[in-house]
């Protein structure tokens, strides 16, 4: 497997810089997509835990979740009731060389964050 085969190339932000985190929210409705958020934040202002929490909160804000769904999405995986709502997961992908993406989606809402993790590989052909 060569290095380029792991890059998805999906919705790459053209203005992303190495010292930023790029947050995006997209909503699908009646056959079309609407971008409702595209914002850059300095990397040093958000640690990883807060970045993931922000992704989850953006997803909840733009989804039609009831109170129980929100509460149950924050439970741990221990046995018992109520059951954890594991709808919110934040997998990782690599949209381009040197960039890491964390994303989550539910229903018609997709939320993601891109950040440069390897500046020496980031847009070297640009």
List, for residues 72-117, the tens digit of each pLDDT value: 877 877 888 877 766 677 789 999 999 999 998 888 999 999 999 9
Write down the pLDDT at residue 125: 73
User: What's the predicted TM-score (pTM) here?
Assistant: 0.83
Residues 10 and 27: their CA atoms lie apart, in Å, by: 16
Instruction: Specify whether the CB–CB gap between 49 and 65 falls below 8 A.
Output: no
Residues 97 and 9: their CA atoms lie apart, in Å, by: 9
Rounded to whole angstroms, what are the CA distances from 116 to 2, 17, 100?
A: 20, 7, 6
Exposure letters 62-80 (e unless 16+ CB within 10 A, then b): bbebeeeeeebbeeeeeee
Question: pLDDT band at 1, cuts 50/70/90?
Answer: very low
């Amino acid at each position: 497997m060569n290095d380029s085969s792991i890059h998805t190339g999906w919705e790459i932000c053209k203005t992303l810089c190495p010292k930023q985190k790029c947050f995006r929210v997209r909503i699908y409705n009646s056959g079309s997509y609407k971008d409702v958020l595209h914002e850059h934040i300095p990397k040093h202002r958000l640690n990883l835990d807060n970045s993931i929490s922000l992704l989850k909160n953006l997803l909840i804000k733009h989804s039609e979740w009831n109170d129980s769904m929100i509460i149950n999405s924050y439970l741990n995986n221990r046995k018992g009731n109520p059951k954890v709502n594991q709808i919110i997961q934040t997998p990782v992908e690599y949209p381009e060389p040197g960039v890491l993406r964390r994303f989550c989606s539910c229903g018609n809402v997709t939320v993601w964050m891109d950040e440069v993790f390897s500046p020496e590989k980031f847009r070297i052909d640009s």
